[in-house]
Each structure stands twice: as C-alpha cells, then as structure tokens.
Structure 1
Amino acid sequence: MENWGCVTYRTVCLLVDEKNTALKNKQYVAIVVAHELAHQWFGNLVTMEWWTELWLNEGFASWVEYLAVDKLFPEWKVWQSFVNDAHNPALGLDGLLTSHPIEVPVKHPSEIDEIFDAISYLKGAAVIRMLASHLGLETFRKGLVAYLQKFAYKNATTVDLWQMLEIGGKLPEGSVSSLMANWTAKMGYPVLSVEAKEGGFSLGQQHFVSSGDKGHDTLWQVPVVYELYDGKNRSAKKMLLKGASENMEEKGKYTCALFNQGSQAYYRVKYGPKLRGLLFEGIKAGVISDPVDRLAIQADLMAIVKAGVDESVTSKEYFDLIKAYKNETEFIVWESLLANIQSLSVLAKAAGFQEAFSKYMVELLQPIAEKLGWDSKEGEPATDQMLRAQVIPLIGIHGHPPTVKKALDAFTEFYDKKQYTEEFKGKSALPADFRSGVYRIAVKQNGEKAFEQLLMIYKTTTFQEEKVRILRSIGAGNDDKLIERTLAMSLDFKQVRKQDMMYPIFGTVGSEKGLRATWAFLKKNWSFILKEFKGTHMLVRLASVTSRFAMEEDQKDVEEFFKSNEHPGAERKVKQCLESIGTNARWLKRDRGAIAAAVGAA
C-alpha cells in the first residue's frame, strides 16, 4: 500500500530469496515495489479529484512500474511482458459488454471496490503507453513534468492531464483532449478491420465485443502504425484513423503487411483473408522479427475466433496458425500462445476432450521442451529461463512420460533430503522455477502420498512464496477426497492465512472435476465466506472462478445462485462472469467439431 511515508507490502510482494525464488516471482516483486513507489508521485504528490479519475493514480503507477523495472533490469525485457501482463488482459476484460469506461461515475461507496480492476490499472496503463508512443516519449515526458509540477500537493482531473501534455508539444491532427476523449470516457475499444485492395488497403473500425454481440457506435481516433515487408526490407508508416473507414493508398509491393506494430496502440486487428495468409507465411518464413508482433497476430486471431464475428474464421483457423509457430523460441510468444490454448482447454474439458487435448499438448510442446532441456545453460537469456520454467512442467502435467519420471525423481530427492529446509545449503534437485509445476505433477501422479509430503513442507517452511506455491498445487490431482481436503483447508484459518485462502481455491479449478467441486464448495459455504470477507476484494476473486464454465446450464446455475445470495462489491464481476460463460457456451456449440478434429478427439 502506497501510504505516504510508510509504504507497506505483503511478504510475497517484497521478499526474495536467491535460491528459492522463481525468476517470474522476482519480476513480480520488482514490479509491485516499483508500482507502490510510483504512487508517491501519482496518487500522493498529485491526487485524483474524485474516484472517477482513479486511473490517474493506478493507470500511471501501472505504466511507470514497467518504465522503472526496464531501466533497472533490461535483461528481463519487461516492455515485451507488458503486452501479456497488462495490454492483453485489459483487452480481454474491456471486450465485455459488462466492462466500464476508464472514467466511471462513482455514486456509492460500494461501487469503489468494483473499479479497482484491470480497466483502471491495465487499460489505464495501456492507453498511457499508446499516447506516449504517439506523442513521442520526450514530448510526453515534458508534459508529464509540467503536470506534476502544477498539481503538486493538489487534486487533478483527466482534463488537467491532457492540457499539461499539450505543453510538451502540439499534435498536428488536433488536441490531446480530442484524441483521447473516447479512450477514457467510453467503454471498450475498436477492432481495426484491414483488407488488401488494388493500390493499397481499406481500413474500418467498430466497437469490438468478445461475445460477438453488437457494440455501441463510438468512433475512436485510432493511431495506426503499420509495417510493410517486401522480402528484403521493411518500412514503418503511421496515420490516424478518425472516421469509420478510410482507403489508404500504397503503391509499393509487399509480401507481408502488419498493423499496430509493437502492439503500441490499444485495439485488435482483424485481417482479411489475403493479408492473414501472408502473415501466416511470414511467420513460417521467420520474416516477422519482433516477437511482440508474432504474439499479437495470434492473440488478435484468437479474439476474433472466440467472438465468432467472421464465419470464415473458426477455431480450425487458430489451430492452423499454431503450426506456423513450430520454430518459435521466444518466451512472450509462447506465454501468449499457451494462455490462448488454455481458453480452448476450457472448452475441451467441458466437451469431454481432456485426454485427447493432453496428447495434443504433449505433441505441441515436445520440440521446444527438447530444445530447452531440463537444465539451464550458462549465459542464456533470462527469457529462456522463464520459457523453460513454463514449458517443462506443463508438458509433464499433460503426461509426457520422460518429464513425469524426471519430475517425480527430482521431487523425491528434494523431499527425502529435506532440501526445502533453511539448513540445506547445496544445489537443489528442484530449482525454484520448476517447483509449482512439479508439485502439481507429483499430486496428480502420486495422490495422497505427495499431498501429505507437500503439507509437511508447507508446515515446515517459513518462506511465504513456498507456502503459496504449495497451496496452489495440492488441489491439482483427480482424487475427490484430496480436492475436498484442499477446499476445506482454504477456510481453515489456523492452517491458511485469511488473505491466502484464494490460492487453494484457484489451484483446484484446473480440471473439470475440480472446477465443479470448487463451485459446489463455494455455494455451500457462501454464508461463511460473506461473513468473513464482506467489504473486501476477495468476493470478486472468488466469483471469478465461474468464468471457466462453458455450458448454458452452468450459466443459469451461477445466475440463479447470485440472484438469491448477496455479493456486495462483486456485482459487476458476477455480470462479467455470466457474460463470459455465455460466450464460452456459444463458442463451444459453434466450434465443437473443429476443436475435436484438431486435438484428435473426433
């Protein structure tokens, strides 16, 4: 918490251990520390006038955190990670009809907790990044300095910020206020439709809705940066789309055309068939050199597939695109691919394709897993270390026999030799980067034995990160009794700290069986949960697990439950979950056959 003169942190957000902290967690700690310190300027030195402008605090802190960490740890490439950790999650939430504008009127205290979400934090940061890119970082910095100086020890509004940014430099196409008005005052964002035509391109924009429903008629001023590849060279160009559509003249020949280069602007791109095909070939040929662009191509396609807004673009198209990434080696691209495949996994589980889906995942991951190997290499990039930490455990979770064996052997040595204790000083058989995944593999394969071993480590260790890893892992098996024990632990505050109770909950929802057991547990214990957590953000977190459902009957069940059970502060989240379930159900109904065929379940 960013208290002036007394910044406070949870233990897991502040302390790292060189031997026992995973690299991803080190990054997380650096980001959180930078975020809270950024509030000394954005929030404390200059304070929002009212809760409507919460984003002036949280959006800026969420942007500055990356600015600071990139300066301190350039080897982490955190601006690339920003696309996965901030930009795309914001697009995901903001694609819902139950989203809200960055600036949202707050008329009652209960509404305040609801706006502490990805819109105020992550969309806020994403539109700041877009504006900084459009203005130029130096121009943006000058305006920001003027803003901080003029409103030091005072309150400010969004309009105040826009006016100060214009001090840094004027825009040729108009004011900052006119450029940014709809980005903060309107819910959602546009999808930019791009079609190849004789002598150039045709562009169009409309409100993107992830359910495929009709959105509102807002037109944004859209900064468009695009690159053309001619087989040898690449040229970057920019324009500002103000209207609903525009024809662009482009006389040069190109083998590939990419829009929203670097994902600097806050929108999706929907390519026509010709341009989409050229991009697929460009990825195969290795000519799309920026990993952020390779990430964005498949992320935008997945959003289009999920929405079902184009009958010619189904899940089959996405599975076909995945094949173009067979030689991919960048962490952020794989991280996004696997997150999107997780969306398909939700459908596969609901449809009963889990076994076939796991076989598909093993085949997909095996080449990159073999390339990376189990052991780190001297001098390798930090991003390779993070990729290995994601891929190796995941292929084991999906049942790859050699990985399962190595994981279980490593866990046995780690446990038997008490390498989890402070007294152990040697090289661990189980590096911190692998522990979460290996713990899940152990529970999945060895059931109660591994469960009890992990509980022993949990009770023994004083390192909070280790405790959280275990709480997230013990419910990953298929044993009904162990799932029940995990869920019961979440509300046993003698074993689990109240602020940690969501970790075992989140750890059980990875399987269809675990998801249904978790929802039944939450319904049964909602009165107790409400008594303990009313007025906190925990209700929002717990309600969010329902977004993993993909059947109409589950949507009805969730809706009926929350109609008759109080959930103060989580009203908007429940509506968003219901919308997500409905989207999943329609997606499954529409693409069930394509998914079954792609994973070999047909």
Structure 2
Amino acid sequence: MGPLRGDEVSYSKGAAVIKMLADHLGPRDFRDGLRHYLKKHSYANASTEDLWLAFEHVSRKPVREMMKTWTRKPGYPLVRIAERKGDLFLRQSRFFASPLSRKASRDATVWNVPLRAAYGKRIKDGVLDRRTVSLPKPAGKGWLKLNAGGFGFYRTDYPADFLRRLRAPVADKELGPADRLNLLRDAFALAESGDLPTREALIFAEAYRGEEEYAVLGELVLRLAQTEILLGSEDFLDDYREFARSLLSDAVGRAGWMPKKGEKALSKLTRTMLLAEAVRYGEDEALRTARKMWRGKRVPPDLRSAVYRAAAQYGGLREHRELIRRYRASEFQEEKDRLGGALAAFRKPELLRKSLGFFLSDAVRAQDAPYLLAAAWRNPAGVRLTWEFIKKNWREFERRYTDGHLLARMMEAAGYMTRSKDARDLRNFFKKHPLPAARRTLAQAEEEIRSRAAWLRRDGAVLKRWLRGRK
C-alpha cells in the first residue's frame, strides 16, 4: 500500500476495502448482503450505494456512513497508538508514503475504521470513527496488536516499547502469518514515510529469522531488496548486504538446493525465491553451488533464476556472452524472462551497458524491452547507467513506442533514483521530450526520487553507524 497509480485505485484499493468490510460484517451477513443485492437488482442497473444499502439491510450496521470516506476520499489512514499520562489513545490521519506529500497536504479526512485489537489471545472489536479515541492498555508487559488478522486497510504506528514487545510473538509464531506479514509491511512503510527510523524496521525484521511461510518470506525479501536499492550508491552497501545475508541465512539453509520427498508446491516456490536472494547478497555456499550448476549440463527450471543471477552478478564477459547465446537460442518466453533478468543483474558497468544495448536489439521483442530496462534500473549498479542509456537512446524509444504506454510502465522504475538532482534531471528531460501517456507516472517518479533523497538524508548516517557497529 504505497502510492496508488491509475487502475490500482480501482483494483487494489477496491479489493482491500471490500475485504475489510467483509471481515467487519462477518461471512454470513456479507454473503447474505450480496445475495440480497443481486436478487433485488437482477436484470437492472445498480450503483455502489445500492450495494451498501443491501449490506446495511442485512447486517443492521451503518454501512453507507462507514464506506462514504473509503470510496469518495483519496488515500487511507494511519492509526497511531500514543501514550499520554499513562493512558493509551488512537489517533488517525491520512497516511502518506512520502513525507513531502504529507507536508504539502491539508487533508483532514476522518475515516470510519473497523478495528480489531489483539491483547495476547483476547480480541476486542470496535470502530474508530473520530480523530482520537482512548484505548485499553495491555496488562503488565503484555503485547497489543492492532489490525488483528490484517483485514484492515490502514497502517499502524506503535510506540517503540510496544513494537519491541511484538518481536517475541512474531519470532515464536504466536501471531499468525497474516499478522506477521502486516507488521512487517507496516514497519517498512513507516520507515519510508519517516514515521519510524529505518534502523528500527531492520531490527524488527530480525524477529523473522525463523520465518517459514511463503507469503511472509516474500514480503521480507521484497522489503530487503527495496532497501538495497535505496542504499545502492552508499559506501556502506556491502555492510547492508552482509546484514541481509545473515537475516536470510536460516531460511536459505532450511530451503536447501534439492527438493525433499513429498514437499508441497509452496516449498519449491520458497526455495526458488530464497536461493535467488542468497545469490543477490553474496552468500558463499549459494554462490559455490550456483557456479557449479552453471558449469553443469542441465539446471532444474526452478533453480535457473538463482544460477543465472550468480553467473551475471559475479561473472565476466564469457558469462555475458553465454547468457545472450542462451537467450537467442531459447524458444520459451519463460526462459527468456529468466535470462533477461540475469542480463539486467550484471554489476560490472561495461557488461551492464552491453545488456542495455542488447535489450534494444532485434533479438528482444519490442514489448519485452521496457520491462528488462526497468529491471536494470532496479539493479543498484544500474540506476545511473540505465537512466543515461534511456536519455541517449530516447529517439529510438519514441520511434518504437508511439503510444507511450509501455514507456510509462518502464518509467515507473525511475522512482528508484535517490538524488535530488535526478528528480530535476527527470523533469527537465521530459519538458524537452513530452510523454503525455506517462504524465502521472513521471510526476509520481519525481516525488519518489525526492522522497528517497530525503529518506537517505534522514536515516543514512544512523543506518551506516548501526550496520558497521554490528560487526
């Protein structure tokens, strides 16, 4: 739930709001409300208001009033837990992924937020329908988890002591997968927004060393990778990679390289994901095994992403030529996607430049090139190179992609740049080379760049000292 683009408002936010409402009403009333709505408006037109009325008729809850702000107002709330004179309070405000947007906004929306709070194993339900309400405190040193079950469409900001108390129920898996995922996602979103120091988000992430659930591990992998891109030009990037490598080492060891008899499909997906990340962060055993497989005759399909990435990240010209040879020879798009992703992962500038040139060659389908270039842009070694390549070859991009929509997708990755001057450069370039189809995308990318630059100014020095002090 970061900045929402175009159809994400309809699909992502819409789905999240309906899911939240379904949990608030309960499965029976939600199902019966849908039946009432479909029966009453069969063979006729209906509006969103009619749907809320149907749910209200069945549940006897004020659904129309509750949903008014969710569907008519932009954004979604941040619910902050605060202590004052020994009492607890909840205070809501609009969440902004960018502190720059928050500073410029005067949004005073008050949402009707369905609440479910877990005090250990005890659940308390309610609705936050005002700016501020009081909240019972957990007993003694007990823990409190807001948005229990993860159904609510909002961020939660905990006091430092409350967040620390949640580390044990995460590590011990006393909290279920949905709650563990929700806490991790909120922690890193709040680090980006400036509401939580990035160091604290990483410290909290250490509670996930024993994590085994695929969805939760996927979130952890995603957030670690996003942080790596943020730190891509910093002189302590290797210190961060050592941290990420250590954090994932237990999960990588459990996954192993070889399938286990009778394992579930999710276990294979978990292995594929984790081994690619082990290679990304330079885990020694993973690199040795991947290189050995690279030299072998056949690599199992589910391990190819990791093996190809190892060949690219730590290889040279010979590996680059072999990846291109395999790309040209393959008849399967799935295999080309893996090989293309590896070509975008080279860390040596001269080889990554060759990959960028290859992406614009006749060997790569025109509809695939923007996505491969975006992948190179997400490579910490390729953030600057890719932008310079795009500017240098812009006439070719204009010739190839006349409607601009694929270019708009590619330009989403521009937001991974991290210097304020990159934002100015982006704006000035597209003043000279207008791209109407990407107007909103470029505005969001510019804001993301400025936010990342502010993020590094805010947390970079502290993060550097903390990472180096861990050794």
Per the TM superposition, whether the score is higher than 0.5 is: yes
Question: Which amino acid is 2:210 matched to?
Answer: N
Question: Which amino acid is 1:277 matched to?
Answer: R
Distance of 1:277 and 1:569 partners within structure 2:
45
Equivalent residue in structure 1 for 2:418, among 529, 534, 550: 550
Q: Does 1:131 align with 2:131?
A: no
Q: Does 1:143 align with 2:11?
A: no
Contact 2:79–2:93 (CA under 8 A) maintained in structure 1: yes
User: Hey, what does 2:119 align to over in structure 1?
Assistant: 228
Q: Does 1:158 align with 2:68?
A: no
Q: Does 1:93 align with 2:27?
A: no
User: Hey, what does 2:217 align to over in structure 1?
Assistant: 334
SS of 1:218's partner is coil
| 1:203-282 superposed matches below 5 A | 203-212=90-99, 213-214=102-103, 215=105, 216-229=107-120, 234-249=121-136, 255-282=142-169
- CA deviations over 1:491-547 (Å, ceiling 9, x no partner): 33x322222122321332243431211111222223332343243531221111111
| 1:120-519 superposed matches below 5 A | 120-149=10-39, 156-171=46-61, 174=62, 176-195=63-82, 201-212=88-99, 213-214=102-103, 215=105, 216-229=107-120, 234-249=121-136, 255-284=142-171, 286=172, 288-309=174-195, 313-413=196-296, 417=297, 419=298, 430-492=299-361, 494-519=362-387
Cα 1:344–1:397 change in 2 (3 A) is closer
Contact 1:356–1:600 (CA under 8 A) maintained in structure 2: yes
Distance of 1:563 and 1:151 partners within structure 2:
49
Instruction: State the Cα distance separating 1:250 from its structure 2 match.
Output: 5.8
Q: Does 1:533 align with 2:416?
A: no
User: Hey, what does 1:20 align to over in structure 2?
Assistant: none
Distance of 1:431 and 1:454 partners within structure 2:
16
Contact 1:411–1:442 (CA under 8 A) maintained in structure 2: yes
Contact 1:473–1:507 (CA under 8 A) maintained in structure 2: no
Question: Which amino acid is 2:270 matched to?
Answer: L
Instruction: State the Cα distance separating 1:253 from its structure 2 match.
Output: 5.8
Contact 1:353–1:601 (CA under 8 A) maintained in structure 2: no
SS of 2:381's partner is helix
Distance of 1:243 and 1:442 partners within structure 2:
56
Contact 2:370–2:407 (CA under 8 A) maintained in structure 1: no
SS of 2:287's partner is helix
Distance of 2:54 and 2:404 partners within structure 1:
36
Cα 1:362–1:254 change in 2 (3 A) is closer
- CA deviations over 1:160-215 (Å, ceiling 9, x no partner): 332333344321xx2x2211111111111111111357887311101111222244
Question: Which amino acid is 1:92 matched to?
Answer: G
Instruction: State the Cα distance separating 1:295 from its structure 2 match.
Output: 1.8
- Structure 2 unpaired stretches of 5+: none
SS of 2:88's partner is strand
- CA deviations over 1:460-480 (Å, ceiling 9, x no partner): 332221111111221211233
Distance of 1:520 and 1:601 partners within structure 2:
36
User: Hey, what does 1:67 align to over in structure 2?
Assistant: none
Contact 2:228–2:380 (CA under 8 A) maintained in structure 1: no
Instruction: State the Cα distance separating 1:453 from its structure 2 match.
Output: 2.1
Q: Does 1:564 align with 2:432?
A: yes
Contact 1:534–1:568 (CA under 8 A) maintained in structure 2: no
Distance of 1:138 and 1:531 partners within structure 2:
55
Q: Does 1:588 align with 2:456?
A: yes
Contact 1:141–1:168 (CA under 8 A) maintained in structure 2: no
Distance of 1:170 and 1:358 partners within structure 2:
53
SS of 1:520's partner is helix
Distance of 1:295 and 1:362 partners within structure 2:
20
Instruction: State the Cα distance separating 1:289 from its structure 2 match.
Output: 2.7
Instruction: State the Cα distance separating 1:389 from its structure 2 match.
Output: 1.5
Contact 2:169–2:175 (CA under 8 A) maintained in structure 1: no
Contact 1:475–1:483 (CA under 8 A) maintained in structure 2: yes
Contact 1:302–1:340 (CA under 8 A) maintained in structure 2: yes
Cα 1:324–1:377 change in 2 (3 A) is same
Q: Does 1:578 align with 2:446?
A: yes
SS of 2:293's partner is helix
- CA deviations over 1:122-166 (Å, ceiling 9, x no partner): 111111111111112232223334444555566543223323333
Instruction: State the Cα distance separating 1:288 from its structure 2 match.
Output: 3.1
Question: Which amino acid is 2:112 matched to?
Answer: Q
- CA deviations over 1:2-39 (Å, ceiling 9, x no partner): xxxxxxxxxxxxxxxxxxxxxxxxxxxxxxxxxxxxxx
SS of 1:283's partner is helix
Cα 1:218–1:374 change in 2 (3 A) is same
Question: Which amino acid is 1:576 matched to?
Answer: Q
Distance of 2:157 and 2:256 partners within structure 1:
36
Cα 1:439–1:243 change in 2 (3 A) is same
Contact 1:130–1:265 (CA under 8 A) maintained in structure 2: yes
- Tell me the matched-pair count: 466
User: Hey, what does 1:50 align to over in structure 2?
Assistant: none
Question: Which amino acid is 2:117 matched to?
Answer: Y
Contact 1:350–1:551 (CA under 8 A) maintained in structure 2: no
Contact 1:192–1:204 (CA under 8 A) maintained in structure 2: yes
- Structure 1 unpaired stretches of 5+: 1-90, 100-114, 420-429
Distance of 2:137 and 2:464 partners within structure 1:
41
